[in-house]
């Protein structure tokens, strides 16, 4: 059982951001911007998959995520934990273990043979399912996973992620309109604050990142 005496939400955000910086999951580069899946340029990139290789930090963040789920969604709110293919699968297994719940996972698309299933594992009608992933940017992929869960007759009213970009307008509203609550540990703003405290990057880079976070579309257009 996870105790409820964990740090406050604000302290969890600060500690989580620091741990992501510590393992090198955070990348800032304003001179050679990264190209995101959307095709847009950004001076930021995060790789939460690295967490699986750092047991102490991985365990701490999963404890933080489990207690965040219980505090913000409820201690008895779910019957099943589903991971989104592929990055969400290991984290959903770890959260399911902590919450003592069955674990399943959701494919991005039907596998094209056999049962042509999108859900792997046992998910039954009426179950209350928590969707777990590594991160969310604009929330788009979450809606597809949620719809696949709901097609089984189960419900899905929340998604939990380690990292939420927190810089694009309307993300939480879009999810809420779809009946989904977003639970997360930290955002780019938390990471930037800790990076400044630690002097993790040079001043020019941190300034460029802050400019991007304040106006992602404008910065991307300027550096296209």
138-151 residue pLDDT tens: 888 899 999 999 99
Q: Is residue 88 part of a domain?
A: yes
CATH of the domain at 81: 3.40.50.2020
Mean pLDDT of 77-98: 97
Q: Is residue 224 part of a domain?
A: no
Specify the pLDDT at position 116. Answer: 64
Helix/strand/coil percentages in the chain, nearest 5 = 45, 20, 35
Name beta bridge partners: 164.
136
Residues with Cβ < 8 Å from 146, sequence gap 6 or more?
A: 131, 156, 159, 178, 180
Q: Is residue 2 part of a domain?
A: no
Residues 89-126: b if buried by 16+ CB within 10 A, e if exposed: bbbbbbbbebbebbbbbbbeeeeeeeeeebbbbebeee
pLDDT tens string 11-70: 999 999 999 999 999 999 999 999 988 888 999 999 999 999 999 999 999 999 999 999
Q: How far apart are CA 2 and CA 66, in angstroms?
A: 8
Count: domains in the chain? 1
pLDDT interval class at 224 (50, 70, 90): confident
What domain range is 161 assigned to?
Answer: 9-219
Mean pLDDT of the chain: 94
Q: Tell me the three state secondary structure of residue 143.
A: helix
Q: How far apart are CA 69 and CA 130, in angstroms?
A: 9
Cα angle 109, 112, 116 (rounded to 5 degrees) comes to: 80
At residue 63, what are phi and psi to the nearest 5 degrees? -65, -45
Mean pLDDT of 159-171: 97
């Amino acid at each position: 059982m996870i105790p409820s005496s964990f740090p406050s939400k604000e302290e969890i955000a600060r500690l989580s951001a620091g741990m992501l910086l510590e393992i090198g999951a955070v990348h800032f580069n304003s001179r050679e911007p990264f190209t995101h899946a959307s095709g847009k340029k950004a001076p930021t990139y995060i790789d939460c998959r690295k967490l699986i290789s750092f047991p102490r930090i991985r365990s701490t963040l999963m404890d933080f995520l489990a207690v965040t789920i219980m505090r913000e969604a409820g201690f008895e709110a779910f019957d099943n934990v589903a991971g989104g293919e592929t990055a969400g699968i290991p984290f959903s297994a770890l959260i399911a273990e902590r919450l003592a719940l069955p674990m399943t996972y959701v494919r991005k698309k039907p596998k094209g043979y056999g049962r042509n299933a999108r859900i792997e594992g046992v998910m039954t009608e009426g179950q209350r399912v928590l969707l777990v992933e590594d991160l969310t940017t604009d929330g788009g992929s979450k809606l597809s996973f949620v719809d696949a869960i709901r097609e089984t007759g189960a419900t899905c009213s929340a998604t939990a992620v380690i990292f939420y970009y927190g810089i694009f307008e309307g993300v939480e509203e879009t999810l809420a309109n779809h009946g989904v609550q977003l639970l997360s540990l930290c955002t780019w703003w938390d990471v930037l604050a800790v990076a400044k405290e630690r002097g993790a990057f040079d001043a020019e880079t941190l300034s460029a990142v802050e400019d991007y976070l304040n106006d992602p579309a404008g910065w991307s257009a300027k550096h296209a």
